Amino acid sequence: MKKILFLGLIAIIIITSCSNDDSQVSSIDSTRRIINETDHHLDIMVYDDVDTFQFNLAPRSTFIVEGTCTESVFSGTYCNMGWNLSDNASIIFDNERIQRFELDENLECSGKAINGSIWSPECGYQTDYNRSSLTSQYRITQEDYENAEIL
């Protein structure tokens, strides 16, 4: 009986010594930049389970979302910059054309997707990350306009 109690006490000590404390979590400033490189007005909508993130973007302008990224040894990096991965999104060009984005069941993109992961270059994001800041850029180009569906 004493052996079981002793082993239980050792297990509690080991588990407690491996717990996540504040010194193992750090936060950095982050920025999501949506850059409109076209001559078209854009209406951008990103849909998640609860809300719709919607904004308008003038021709040749940039929309900036300030946020924070939290890094933990146990859970990796999590960023809050307006929206995270979302199933669906759309960009409407001058109420003439629409580009629709839908992620697969694993929330991965098979091409450029404004609602995709900032960590996946195949989603179209360019992300610069260092220990003090993170900047992620998504460029909307004339080619995006030309490939968009006519309304």
Closest CA to 62 of 136, 145, 143: 136
How many Å apart are CA 118 and CA 28, to the nearest integer? 15
pLDDT value for 32: 93
Per-residue pLDDT of 64-98, as tens digits, reads 999 998 888 777 778 888 887 788 999 999 999 99
pLDDT at 23 over 60: no
Per-residue pLDDT of 82-138, as tens digits, reads 887 788 999 999 999 999 999 888 888 888 999 988 888 889 999 998 878 899 999
Tell me the β-bridge partners of 139: 35
Closest CA to 120 of 136, 132, 104: 136
Buried-state track 93-103, b at ≥16 Cβ within 10 A, e below 16: beeebebebeb
pLDDT value for 148: 97
Tell me the β-bridge partners of 127: 136
- What is the band of 61 on the pLDDT scale with cuts at 50, 70, 90? very high
Residue 52 burial (CB count, 10 A): 12
Buried-state track 57-70, b at ≥16 Cβ within 10 A, e below 16: beeeeebebebebe
Q: Is 82 left (phi over 0), alpha (psi -120 to 50) or beta?
A: left
Q: How far is CA 70 from CA 61, 80, 82, in A?
A: 28, 9, 15
pTM: 0.78
